[in-house]
A and B are shown apart, each in its own frame.
Chain A
Amino acid sequence: MTDHKNKNPFIKYFRQDRLPTIFCSGCGIGITVNSFLKGFESTDLDFDSLALVSGIGCSSRVPGYIKCDSLHTSHGRALSFATGLKVGNPDLNVVVFTGDGDAASIGGNHLIHAARRNINLIVICINNSIYGMTGGQISPTSPKGSLATTAPYGSIDTPFNLIDLVTAAGASYVSRWTTAHPLQLSRSIKTAFNNKGFSFVEVVSQCPTYYGRRNNLKTPIAMIKMFKENTVNKKKADTLSDDELLGKIIVGEFVNKQRYEFSEQIEELTYKKTEKKPIRKSAY
């Protein structure tokens, strides 16, 4: 069908019969996927060992487009399925693509407990501050005062700070970047792949269709400019007061601290009780 040959460096990882993607023009999910693939390329891992898991939402369509083992599960339960996958076969590199509604609202419980267990997963949370797929309702991470279909006078709630939530629950690697920082994001994903434990990477992304249009940021360019102007690195943010940080997005690496990992402990326990190594079923 395509007579024009696409030589983009990331296109070889995609299921090309599904392209072009369903995402709106200027959606941040594509940028996150590019950064993820660049970060993955810079590690020495085998592409066949990668398994992507997702729940429901715009961001959860990603595993359907990438040519590796993928699992599209029920709403908010991606982390439960991923935990099962990782414990069943610890050789897999399990990555969970999730949105802000999927991770913080419907699957909030699973998020904190996966972080508490410190299971060796990577969670990439594409936070676009709105429920994009269902028509632009307020999500748990919508900033105070932002407009949406369910908040015509502006949101009155204080948003969730996912970084603080996951840090408090005990994740061993936590970082936050925006779609205006693709290189830092890919480096952060590389660190997450090398980290043994629960890694949480939050990507503040744009939804020009539902968030931007209602909040005076009509084009994807306006949203990317807003990210560039309103981000403060963590090192600088530590020296600023709360009033100065109002409305700013703090980016950077928040936690990088190793501790006991869940799937390894399960293996040790099995060996101790049965004196046999646990059976691993792998397709490769």
Chain B
Amino acid sequence: MIEINPEFCKGCYICIEICPKSVYAISEKSNKKNINLPAPLNEKDCIKCHLCELECPDQAIYVEDKND
């Protein structure tokens, strides 16, 4: 499972660029700063490389290793 904290995300969309499997895309949902949040729309393609956790400058992403 992938969680994105809406309070921490600043909308730089580095996660969309950096993901090797194109898991993320910009969603319709926005946060308090009126930023359209990225969302893990292709979550089934995720290979749990944890690169997005490392590349998120605002510590907003959490990737769970186990699949539900």
- Which of A's residues lie within 8 Å of B, judged by CB? 2, 4, 6-11, 14, 19-21, 23-31, 34-35, 38, 179, 182-183, 186, 208, 219-221, 224-225
Q: Report the separation of the CA atoms of residues A102 and B43 in the bound assembly, to the nearest whole angstrom.
A: 42
Chain B residues whose CB sits within 8 angstroms of the CB of A20 once the complex forms = 7-8, 10, 58
What is the total number of residues of chain B having a CB less than 8 Å from a CB of chain A?
25
Are B55 and A8 neighbours in the complex by a CB distance under 8 Å? no
17 extra A-B contacts, CB within 8 A, seeds A8-B60, A9-B50: A2-B7, A4-B6, A6-B62, A14-B59, A19-B8, A20-B7, A20-B8, A20-B58, A25-B11, A26-B13, A26-B14, A29-B57, A31-B57, A34-B54, A179-B55, A224-B14, A224-B18
A26→B5 contact, CB < 8 A: no
Cα separation A31 to B54 with both chains bound (whole Å): 6
Question: How far is the CB of B18 from the nearest CB of chain A, in Å?
Answer: 7
**10 smallest A-B Cβ distances: which pairs?**
A30-B57, A26-B12, A25-B10, A7-B62, A221-B17, A182-B54, A25-B12, A8-B59, A220-B12, A6-B5
Note all chain A residues with C-beta closer than 8 A to B17.
Answer: 221, 224-225
